[in-house]
Amino acid sequence: MPLSEHEQRLLEQIERALVDDDPKFASSVRTGDRRLRARRMLQLGALLVVVGLAVLVGGAVARSVPLGVVGFMVMFGGAALGVLNYKAATGAVETGSGAPGVRGSSVPGRGGRRGRRRQPLKTRLEERFRRRYE
């Protein structure tokens, strides 16, 4: 949905105020792709998993427990790095509960996938239990 003229003017005013207040921050936000660093970290994580696996196998072949432990730790660190940066690297966006245009399922009495995700498990189970006798 495009912005109205009023919203565009407000956005331009905010941008100008940001550039006036902190030009260094404004230039870094304007020019940088936020996902680029996360993608690099994801690639580094994948590389660390492969290197850690090689060190782990090397430790098993050499019958060296400390080398195997180091390989496992490198693998674990790479996997953690990948998992932590996956969402930012792929551009996945979380929608809040008040996001416009987000609605549940059109079937009455049943929430859509997004609707169920917002409710805690206890609430969903209680609602399902109540509907059982209706």
Strand, helix or coil for residue 101? coil
Q: What is the pLDDT of residue 37?
A: 80
User: What's the pLDDT at 105?
Assistant: 46
Q: What pLDDT is stored for residue 6 in this prediction? A: 87
- pLDDT exceeds cutoff 70 at 99: no
CA distances to 16, 36, 109, 114 from 125, in Å: 50, 41, 13, 16
Q: Is the pLDDT of residue 104 over 50?
A: no
Query: Against a cut of 0.75, is the pTM above it?
Result: no
Average pLDDT over residues 107-134: 70
pLDDT for the residue numbered 131: 84
Cα–Cα distances (Å) from 35 to 27, 49, 86, 90, 94, in that order, read 16, 21, 10, 7, 15
pLDDT in tens, 23-70: 777 776 766 566 788 888 889 999 999 999 999 999 999 999 999 999
> What is the share, in percent, of the chain residues with pLDDT greater than 70?
74
Whole-angstrom Cα distance, residue 119 to residue 128? 12
pLDDT, mean over the chain: 78
Contact 93, 77 (CB under 8 A): no
Cα–Cα distance for residue pair 121/127, rounded to 1 Å: 10
Q: What is the pLDDT of residue 113?
A: 53
Provide CB contacts within 8 A for 60, sequence distance 6+.
68
